[in-house]
Amino acid sequence: MCMSEMKNVEELADLAADLPRFTQLLTHLAQRLALDLLPLEVDHIALRCHQNATAERWKQGLLRCATLFSQKEIAGRPIALFELATPLDVGPWKISVVELPWPGQRLYRHEGWEHVEVVLRGDASTLGTRALALMADEGLMQQGIAIKTSAPQGAGEKLPNPTLSVTDGQVTIKFHPWSLKEIVASESEVQ
C-alpha cells in the first residue's frame, strides 16, 4: 500500500487540524519554563483519546501513513508505536514516531496531541536532576505548572525508563533516558 502524509488521511483529519494548536501551546510552555527546545533530542509525539473507537480510527489512519513497530499493553492498556513515512513539523523538530495509547482511567481535557518526549542520555538515576536543570527555577514554580516522576515499563523491557513530566495542564514535555526504539529493541535482547 502506498503511504501518504498524515494530512491526506481521512481518519486523521482531526489530528492534522490539531497539530498547530499543540505546537503553539508547546512553544508557550517552553517559553514559560525558559526551556530551549532547539537542542533537545525529541523522540516522539503522543496522543490521548477518551474512546476505544477513536483509538481504533487513529490506528487505521496511521497504518496508511506509517509503519506499526510495536504494540503492547502497558499500565493496563494497549499502546501502539508508529514510524511515520513523512515526519511531522512540531516547533523546531521533525518528529517521525507517534505513540498511540488506548484510553485509560484518566480523562484528558483534550483529545488529540498531548505530549512530546525528549531523550536525555545519561545515567537513569540522575534523569530528573538533569531535566530540571534545563529549565528556569522561576518557570517551574509558576502557578499551573506541575512536575511528576514515574517509571512506566512494559513486559520484557530491560532498560530502566524513568520519566520526568512537566505540564501546564494542556500540553506536557516528558524526559526519558532512552528512545522508544531503544526500549523496544531491549525487549528482544537475550540476558
Q: Check whether 1 has a pLDDT greater than 50.
A: no
Tell me which residue has cell 514515574. Answer: 150
Report the pLDDT averaged over residues 29-45. Answer: 96
Band of residue 4 on the pLDDT scale cut at 50, 70, 90: low
Report the pLDDT averaged over residues 36-51. Answer: 95
> How high is the pLDDT of residue 157?
57
> How high is the pLDDT of residue 38?
94
How does the average pLDDT of the chain come out, rounded? Answer: 90
Cα 39 versus chain centre, distance: 17
Q: How many CB atoms are closer than 10 A to CB 85? A: 15
The domain in which residue 147 lies consists of 6-187
**DSSP bridge partners of 116:** 45, 173
3-state secondary structure of 115: strand
Report the pLDDT averaged over residues 116-135. Answer: 94
Residue 99 lies in a domain: yes
Please state the domain count of the chain: 1
Q: Check whether 93 has a pLDDT greater than 50.
A: yes
- d(CA 164, CA 176) in angstroms, rounded, equals 7
Band of residue 86 on the pLDDT scale cut at 50, 70, 90: very high
Report the predicted TM-score, pTM, of the whole model to 2 decimal places.
Answer: 0.91
- The CATH number given to whatever domain includes residue 151 is 3.10.180.10
Residue 38 lies in a domain: yes
Residues in Cβ contact with 50 at an 8 Å cutoff, skipping those fewer than 6 apart: 103, 107, 108, 111
Is residue 173 a contact partner of residue 147, using CB atoms and an 8 Å limit?
Answer: no
Residues in Cβ contact with 174 at an 8 Å cutoff, skipping those fewer than 6 apart: 115, 116, 117, 118, 163, 164, 165, 166
Q: Check whether 191 has a pLDDT greater than 50.
A: no
Residue 1 lies in a domain: no
Q: Check whether 119 has a pLDDT greater than 80.
A: yes
